[in-house]
Structure 1
């Protein structure tokens, strides 16, 4: 226990540094699975600390998978348990870590991407749908993060896009924004009509991209998503939306 506490303190100090990305190699270089527990505990901190721990977990678990896939699978099953209501835990940051890990390792992505999407696929039967809105936001983000790195996964787009389209009508407004962002990453033109409706939504949403934590609105994420989709496949005239700048502001 003293070793865990000291390592947790050390890792949190590294991730709190202004040069935290330069310390990632030091974290990944720790022996065995030492960093996993302390990093999982850092997810509970929220804000910048949570997101930096997410990035570190992606790299740490990818390194573990390179050395021993079964050890990595045990960690993935641990994350899945935290997403299960029967665990008695609220899995703060778990979906984001799940997605980052899959983005960092192709074999884990191939094995677990269907499970990730299942958390936001409501089938009306005995499904895996997550009822807790903040966790769904994390899942929508995780799908987009995985799409950034591995959009060609067999069956990924076919299952992810319908789940994300349903997410545009999520009862949780920030979740709609995050689903919109992920649809932009996937360049899904069928999202454009609803993105047009969302562009005036000023509900705040926390978004993490390119190592930065951004505070924006659902409408800004919808605008940026539409711009990305338009860059890949120009929309039909009825779906056209105004150009936006890099910050999501209408040009």
Structure 2
């Protein structure tokens, strides 16, 4: 069995376990560079919980890599950016999740790459953005911004007006994640848009605090308003 297959099997076993959080320390037995490819593969796993938990594991791995060699961490982040490029021929699903989690876990990575993540929702000609036309791929970016805002709101706050625009997105996940993020950065200018979503009953399934949860757009809009007082 190849090293990749052996490592992937080991990582998947950990992420599938009910005590997966407690077992994440087992990944430290592997070199961080050896974990990257298996985790990238597991982001597309058939099991929903494995897909989401691979995000947490990747963030820890990226942090280990950055603490050992910031240059290697930069190469890793640029690789993720390449996955988001149509010319790469790769699938970008889940990649923004990984980008965000790496930035949550490591301050230097966050400072150097947060503007890249935000640029995927920039939607006007005044900004040099990389706006994603595909609404389902934007979901991953909005979730990533919510995750980053929970840890480093000051890095997400400059994207406030694009997040406010996201409240009108046709995709329920995008509206919900935009609302979630705006609450975390306490964007008071978003209050009218959030008020309009109070009774939005469209349901989403997502990952928060290490758990898969079912919520509505309205739930997250009301939560955001409560955060603002």
Q: How big is each residue's C-alpha offset from its partner over 1:76-102, in whole Å with a ceiling of 9 and x where there is no partner?
A: 011101111112222111111111110
Whether the 8 Å CA contact 1:183–1:191 is kept in 2: the answer is yes
**Cα distance, 1:151 vs. partner?**
2.2
1:31 paired residue number: 31
Which is richer in helix? 2
1:32–1:212 distance in 2 versus 1, CA, 3 Å: closer
Question: CA-to-partner distance for each residue in 1:155-212, whole Å, 9 max, x for gaps?
Answer: x412x21121111111212211111111111111111111111122122212211111
Instruction: Tell me how far 1:64 sits from its aligned partner.
Output: 0.3
1:89 is paired with a residue of what secondary structure? coil
SS of the residue 2:24 aligns to: helix
Runs of 5+ unmatched residues, structure 2: none
- Aligned counterparts, 1:115-194, within 5 A: 115-124=116-125, 127-153=129-155, 156-158=156-158, 160-194=159-193
Post-superposition Cα deviations, 1:7-32, rounded to whole Å, max 9, x if no partner, equal 11110010000000111111134124
**What is residue 16 of structure 1 aligned with on the other side?**
16
Runs of 4+ in 1 over 6 A off after TM superposition: none
Residue of structure 2 equivalent to 1:201: 200
CA distance in 2, matches of 1:96, 1:128: 16
Q: Where in structure 2 are the equivalents of 1:21-60 lying within 5 Å?
A: 21-45=21-45, 47-60=48-61
Q: Which whole-Å CA distance do the structure 1 matches of 2:178 and 2:224 have between them?
A: 10
Q: Superposition RMSD on alpha carbons, in Å?
A: 1.5
Q: How far, CA to CA, are the matches of 1:223 and 1:88 in structure 2?
A: 39
Deviations 1:111-130 (A, max 9, x none): 00010100001123763111
Equivalence for 1:88:
89
TM-score, normalising length: structure 2: 0.94
Contact 1:198 1:219 in 2 (8 A): yes
Give unmatched runs, 5+ long, in structure 1. 231-251
| 34-43 or 121-130: bigger deviation | 121-130
Corresponding position: 1:4 with 2:4: yes
Number of residues of Structure 1 aligned to a counterpart in Structure 2: 227
Kindly provide the CA deviation profile for residues 101-153 of structure 1, in whole angstroms up to 9, marking residues without a partner as x: 10110001000001010000112376311111122111111112111112234
**Cα pair 1:144 1:182 within 8 Å, conserved:** yes
